[in-house]
Homo-oligomer: A and B are copies of this chain.
Amino acid sequence: MPTNYQKLTLKLEEISRLGGIMGILHWDQEVIMPSGAAESRAKQMGALAGIIHEKSTDPEIGSLLEKISQENSFNSFEECNINEARRQYELETKLPKNLVMELAELSSKGHQIWVKARSENRFSDFVPVLTQLIELKKRWAEYVFPKLKAYDANIDIYERGTTMSDITPVFETLKKELIPLIRDIQLSDYNPESSFLKGKFSVAKQEELGRRISEEMGFAFNCGRMDVSVHPFCGGSHPTDVRITTRYRNDNFIESLYAVIHETGHGLYEQGRMKEGRDLPASEALTMGIHESQSLFWERMIAQSLAFCNSYLPLIKETFPKNFRDVSAEQLYEAVNTSEASYIRVEADEVTYPMHVILRYEIEKGLFDDSIEINSLPELWNSKMKEYLGIEPPNDTLGVLQDTHWSGAAFGYFPSYTLGAIYASQFYQTLLADKPQLEKIIESGNLAIIREWLKQKIHKKGRLLSVPDLVKEVTGEGLNPTVFLKYLKQKYRKIYRLN
């Protein structure tokens, strides 16, 4: 007779496999699906989502969890699966069906309204649906996490265990230090030369280069793929089927290459998951913030370092001999680390990016505690942009309407980006303490050592630890913006000759 725990794992494995199938449908849709199939694919994904919901709310799971709660002597892996199952089951079953349906409908409608409002630069058209979405997500929060404040409940979906009381002081510290740094950079007379990054770059050669670097980072192509999509992402169906994408431009290869490196960082997290119980939640990636810490670790801490530029400039020269003939590693390093305030978050560099996030965080926080009026958002947005980055968007399309998140009711997501950046710098600092020869390692191109360290310390840990416990175990301390700030200040004061 199987135990209650074994019965539970069978159900969890089934749900996980159906989730993997959804991953393939999504990847296929973004990468390879014929355009005429949009409608049929939406229906297929709807059918599968319905089944996943059915399976996730199967009362049998509830009753198994009930029985299991009377049992004991589970090991930490089992314990984790039980807790994950309970969290997911409660999230799915605590909501009244009509709220689920209202949210689904309004998000879908909201997306269309947002697309139109953004293209027509009419924030007022977006106001009614945004108002409703916030109302719904407040009600939603009361059902799913009644003990949390409404905005904390929203954050918890992406960054469980982290609340405003953790984030606000960290973001205040960042503001205090970054606003002056950004202003200093803007006032600096020095601007890195980066004209050699422009030119003509064959897509085939870009792809070859990206594939080579991804492989040297440790991406296993026998358990993954690299393709092209409109927006780069990391998807797939399983740790043995991890699919990263990038996009190519003829006149710029750096964007594509760093997208490959970023997505490879995500991909290595998935491929590095523990070998046992891969269809169970305990083995899964921990949070959005930790996932982002992995992609940013590789993109920024490693690939934007001088050591990396030293290591890979010869290969880049070999790939694009004409463009890079007279370029030194220092020049490449400075060029890929140019910092400039810009309107659009997704185009921001590592110094200005946090300000985009903090701005959104403060607005979301205010919307959920009713201290901010929705109608005032464009004005508020622009004044915060002015204050934080010294620039003011000429219209709402380049301002408050730029991101898709709100139209899909994804409030509380933005902080993960910057939490990820902070964790990445903390992990790097720890790795450096572990391996003082780290720069030499990077210069020698022996990236496998780095990947293995991340795998042992983070990827293999799955969800066995909470984020604070994991960060503590790896770095010896909790979320700490100091390391991040020190890294940014040292690096950019030097690049911009600010001393």
Contact flags (1/0) for A200-236 with B, using CB distance below 8 Å?
0000000000000000000011111100000000000
Q: A277 → chain B, closest Cβ, in Å? A: 13
The complex places the Cα of A39 from the Cα of B279 at a distance, in Å, of: 12
Assess the A35–B241 pair: CB atoms within 8 A: no
Pick from B41, B223, B225: contact of A241, CB under 8 Å: B41
Assess the A240–B279 pair: CB atoms within 8 A: no
Contact flags (1/0) for A37-77 with B, using CB distance below 8 Å?
10111011011101100000000000000000000000000
**Residue A24 is within 8 A (CB to CB) of chain B in the complex:** yes
**Residue A443 is within 8 A (CB to CB) of chain B in the complex:** no
Contact flags (1/0) for A9-21 with B, using CB distance below 8 Å?
0000110011011
Given contacts A24-B25, A25-B24, contact A225 B44 (CB under 8 A): no
**What residues on B are CB-neighbors of A18 within 8 Å?**
44, 47-48, 51
The complex places the Cα of A366 from the Cα of B34 at a distance, in Å, of: 46
Assess the A225–B47 pair: CB atoms within 8 A: no
Contact flags (1/0) for A271-292 with B, using CB distance below 8 Å?
0000000110000000000000
Contact flags (1/0) for A408-430 with B, using CB distance below 8 Å?
00000000000000000000000
Q: Which residue of B lies closest to A33 (CB)?
A: B241
Assess the B222–A14 pair: CB atoms within 8 A: no
Q: Which residue of B lies closest to A18 (CB)?
A: B47
Pick from B32, B34, B44, B238: contact of A40, CB under 8 Å: B238
**Residue A237 is within 8 A (CB to CB) of chain B in the complex:** yes
**Residue A2 is within 8 A (CB to CB) of chain B in the complex:** no
**What residues on B are CB-neighbors of A32 within 8 Å?**
32, 225
Q: Which residue of B lies closest to A48 (CB)?
A: B21
**Residue A347 is within 8 A (CB to CB) of chain B in the complex:** no
Q: A222 → chain B, closest Cβ, in Å? A: 4
**What residues on B are CB-neighbors of A318 within 8 Å?**
none
**What residues on B are CB-neighbors of A41 within 8 Å?**
237-238, 241
The complex places the Cα of A40 from the Cα of B277 at a distance, in Å, of: 12
**What residues on B are CB-neighbors of A28 within 8 Å?**
24, 28
Q: Which residue of B lies closest to A223 (CB)?
A: B36
**Residue of A32, A33, A37, A278 with most partner-chain B CB within 10 A:** A37
Assess the A47–B14 pair: CB atoms within 8 A: yes
Given contacts A21-B21, A24-B24, A24-B25, contact A222 B35 (CB under 8 A): yes
Pick from B14, B21, B36, B278: contact of A240, CB under 8 Å: B36
The complex places the Cα of A34 from the Cα of B223 at a distance, in Å, of: 5
Q: A284 → chain B, closest Cβ, in Å? A: 14
**Residue of A35, A36, A239, A278 with most partner-chain B CB within 10 A:** A36
Q: A275 → chain B, closest Cβ, in Å? A: 12
**What residues on B are CB-neighbors of A50 within 8 Å?**
14
Copies of this chain: 2
Assess the B34–A25 pair: CB atoms within 8 A: no
Q: A186 → chain B, closest Cβ, in Å? A: 46
Q: A268 → chain B, closest Cβ, in Å? A: 15
**What residues on B are CB-neighbors of A48 within 8 Å?**
17-18, 21
Q: Which residue of B lies closest to A55 (CB)?
A: B51
Q: A39 → chain B, closest Cβ, in Å? A: 7
Q: Which residue of B lies closest to A24 (CB)?
A: B28
Given contacts A21-B25, A34-B223, contact A240 B40 (CB under 8 A): yes
**What residues on B are CB-neighbors of A241 within 8 Å?**
33-34, 36-37, 40-41
Q: A422 → chain B, closest Cβ, in Å? A: 33
The complex places the Cα of A51 from the Cα of B52 at a distance, in Å, of: 10
Q: Which residue of B lies closest to A227 (CB)?
A: B32
Assess the A43–B240 pair: CB atoms within 8 A: no
Assess the B34–A20 pair: CB atoms within 8 A: no
- CB under 8 Å from chain B, chain A span 445-462: none
The complex places the Cα of A44 from the Cα of B221 at a distance, in Å, of: 20
Pick from B51, B225, B279: contact of A43, CB under 8 Å: B279
Assess the B25–A222 pair: CB atoms within 8 A: no
Q: Which 7 A-B pairs have the closest CB atoms?
A: A37-B241, A36-B223, A40-B238, A17-B47, A36-B222, A36-B240, A37-B240
11 extra A-B contacts, CB within 8 A, seeds A21-B21, A37-B237: A17-B48, A18-B47, A21-B25, A24-B44, A34-B223, A34-B225, A34-B241, A36-B240, A37-B223, A39-B240, A40-B237
List the interface of chain A (C-beta within 8 A of B). 13-14, 17-18, 20-21, 24-25, 28, 32-37, 39-41, 43-44, 46-48, 50-51, 220-225, 237-241, 278-279
A-B contacts, 18 listed (Cβ < 8 Å): A14-B50, A17-B43, A18-B51, A21-B21, A24-B25, A28-B28, A32-B225, A34-B222, A34-B241, A36-B220, A36-B222, A36-B240, A37-B237, A37-B241, A41-B241, A43-B279, A44-B237, A44-B238
